[in-house]
Amino acid sequence: MNAQISKPILDSWNMYVNSVKKGLQNQYEKYLMDFLSSKEDIVIFLKHQLYSDDRNYAFGVIEHLKEEDKKKLFKDIVYFTSFSHGATLYFRNIIKGLPRKWVVNNIEEIINGILENGTYDEYRRVLELYIELDDELTKKVAIRAIHHEDLDIKEAGEDFLQKYQGE
């Protein structure tokens, strides 16, 4: 990975990370802007960082990306909304900040892959995201869940379908 990334982008990334670690806000904002203004494709670099020990620093960069770069990372962003962790809502908000129609048109295939071997947590997190995005997608996943053999997943589907029947 590092052989493909230039020294300037690595340097700006390392300066950003080190300044965040030290709590030097005026410096990390400058280094973040330096990193974001790189002429290189920072999306490829961030895609790697999202799954590295520096993932929390990469998380903090995503909200500052241009819409087109967020779309390039969309599969990864969706992945990080599909299970419980400290940044689940953060990633949900990034998705909700993208054009709704584009999200609805591009999310289902990604979610289907996640739910193929999904657990209760993944079904529940996906339903929580979907309920904020699109009623039809929510109902589809809820129905899929109630037909699942796992009783906890069935319960998640039933919970979300009840929300619609109560309306």
| pLDDT on residue 64 | 96
For 124, the domain range is: 66-167
Task: For tokens 């053999």, name the residue.
Answer: 149
Q: What is the pLDDT of residues 99-110, one digit of tens each?
A: 999 999 999 999
1 is written with which tokens?
Answer: 């990975």
pTM summary value: 0.91
Q: How many CA atoms lie within 13 A of 118 on its CB side?
A: 29
Whether pLDDT at 11 is above 70: yes
Instruction: Give the C-alpha separation, 53 to 59, whole Å.
Output: 11
Are 94 and 44 contained in the same domain?
no
Are 75 and 17 contained in the same domain?
no
Q: How many domains does the chain have?
A: 2
Average model confidence (pLDDT) across the chain: 93
Encoded amino acid at 144, one letter: R
| pLDDT on residue 6 | 85
Q: What is the pLDDT of residues 73-118, one digit of tens each?
A: 999 999 999 999 999 999 999 999 999 999 999 999 999 999 999 9
Q: How distant, in Å, are the alpha carbons of 26, 76, 154 from that of 151?
A: 51, 28, 5
| pLDDT on residue 150 | 97
Are 81 and 49 contained in the same domain?
no
For residues 138-152, average pLDDT: 97
Burial (Cβ within 10 Å: 0-12, 13-18, ≥19) of residue 59? buried
- Confidence band, pLDDT 50/70/90 cuts, at residue 40: confident
45 is written with which tokens?
Answer: 């670099």
